[in-house]
Amino acid sequence: MLPFAFLPNLGATELMVVAFVALLIFGNRLPSVMRSLGKSVTEFKKGVAGIENDLDQAVNAEKKSVPGHDDSEPARMRDD
């Protein structure tokens, strides 16, 4: 998949123009905007990791609560 699939003919010159326009729009606020974006991405990753940990704990608690559950055997589907 192309990274810029919505802009198929985006070359180096066009990228420089886009960067220049972004610099004009944000000006001296660009470093603070990028810092905020970085913090947002970090917080999002922490949130996703927290959800993954919660799901893992729930699955492990469910496995422990089921009597006779053995992790060494793979689960088999029943033919009803």
| Lookup result for tokens 């070359």 | 11
- Residue scoring higher pLDDT (8 or 54): 54
Domain of residue 46: give its range: 29-63
Q: Evaluate whether residue 8 is within a structural domain.
A: no
Q: Evaluate whether residue 37 is within a structural domain.
A: yes
pTM for the model: 0.48
Cβ-count burial 2-31 (b if 16+ within 10 Å, e if not) = eeeeeeeeeeeeeeeeeeeeeeeeeeeeee
Domain count for the chain, please give it. Answer: 1
Q: Evaluate whether residue 36 is within a structural domain.
A: yes
Q: Evaluate whether residue 19 is within a structural domain.
A: no
Q: Evaluate whether residue 47 is within a structural domain.
A: yes
| Lookup result for tokens 């559950």 | 69
What pLDDT digit, counting tens, does each position of 20-56 carry?
888 888 788 878 888 999 999 999 999 999 999 999 9
DSSP-derived letter for residue 77 is -
pLDDT for res 1: 46
pLDDT for res 32: 87
